Structure 1
Amino acid sequence: MTPIILVVGMPGCGKSTFIEEALRFGYTSISMGDIIREQTRARGLPITKSGDVAQELRKESGIDAIAHLTIPKIKKGQRYIIDGIRGISEVDTFKQHFDSIVIAIHSSPTSRFDRLFARGREDDPSTREEFEKRDRRELGFGIGDAIALADVMMINDNGIATFKRQAQLCLNEIGSYEDTKDR
């Protein structure tokens, strides 16, 4: 059985680029951020408040609340990549339910800020101060522990073409793992 890939990294590190490559390998992507944005809209709040909603969900239902909202979306027999892991509790929750591999993606703060600013999604920071505040919030969720304890660490500071090649190699390795485990 294919392990579920759990992708962790600070905002703007390249998770979306990695996921695009995984889609080419036949994976289905589930974004925990999309689940938070759904919850934000359901509460009648603007998307810019999604960080606050994430904190509220975790206070109301536990630090792994978003993982629990994600699990029902996963169907057996399919290949999944989960985007948006924010802490080791979420990793543990997924590992209790599925064979999982954690891939951490790291990129310098300067590179990440530039990417987020260029991306311009509604909930992306528009100033350095907003960026640093968001980073502190993410670190407060325990994302640093999930990154530190990941099964695979990828560095994304050498351009998109290089990173895509690294992602393809990583996904090939996971495919090889799947092939040997199924025997």
Structure 2
Amino acid sequence: MGLRFVLIAGMPGAGKSIVARVARELGLPVFTMGDVVREEVRRRGLEPTPANMNKVATELRKLYGKTVIAERTLDAIKKSGIRDGIIVIDGVRSLEEVDVFSSYAPVTIVAVHASPKTRFERLRARGRPGDPRTWEEFRARDLMELGFGLGNVIALADYMLVNDGVTLDEFVSQAKRLLEAMIRG
């Protein structure tokens, strides 16, 4: 079967981490690209605020190129020793990042969508380090993500999971059905 990547893309708060959790429950390895930025923020002794996450991500890209976060994620995958099956990568943000992964193994892009209002409410309730606390922070983060090219990845996705107007259980079921179909081939 060989190695295949399932790339999860979506705006902040759309439900990417839920899809990643479902993947883990199905026994699939998951690598989260945002962890690269969070790790660098911690390494620099900074608080993981939206501003610091944005600043560090931007600095990394300026210093090492637009694909540095994807490259570091791919390095972690290579070091993991996984050579076969599906690997899920959470948080792809640009077509250039997609290219980094597709140069190593075939990719399938899964976009996760939810409305801005729904996403803002989720992010406020979630309270993960780096999540926006105000509508202004939320809008600024959305525009930053779109500036990276995330909209292009979503537009060119192979599959779309809509996480709006459904219960958590319904969304989990959608994600599980899709991932199980991919596992079956």
What TM-score, normalized to structure 1? Answer: 0.92
* Structure 2 alignment gaps of length 5 or more: none
* Amino acid in structure 1 at the alignment position of 2:67: D
Cα deviation, residue 160, structure 1: 0.9
Cα deviation, residue 44, structure 1: 2.7
CA contact (8 A) 1:28 1:78 kept: no
| Secondary structure at the counterpart of residue 8 of structure 1 | strand
Aligned match of 1:109 = 116
- Cα distance in 1 for partners of 2:184, 2:28 equals 15
* Amino acid in structure 2 at the alignment position of 1:12: G
Root mean square deviation, CA, Å: 1.2
- Cα distance in 2 for partners of 1:43, 1:98 equals 32
What percentage of aligned pairs have identical amino acids?
A: 44
Cα deviation, residue 36, structure 1: 0.6
Cα deviation, residue 176, structure 1: 2.2
- Cα distance in 2 for partners of 1:45, 1:79 equals 34
- Cα distance in 1 for partners of 2:183, 2:83 equals 17
Count of aligned residue pairs for this structure pair: 177
* Structure 1 alignment gaps of length 5 or more: 178-183
Aligned match of 2:167 = 159
Q: Is 1:91 paired with 2:98?
A: yes
- Cα distance in 1 for partners of 2:36, 2:178 equals 26
Q: Is 1:70 paired with 2:70?
A: no
- Cα distance in 2 for partners of 1:110, 1:32 equals 24
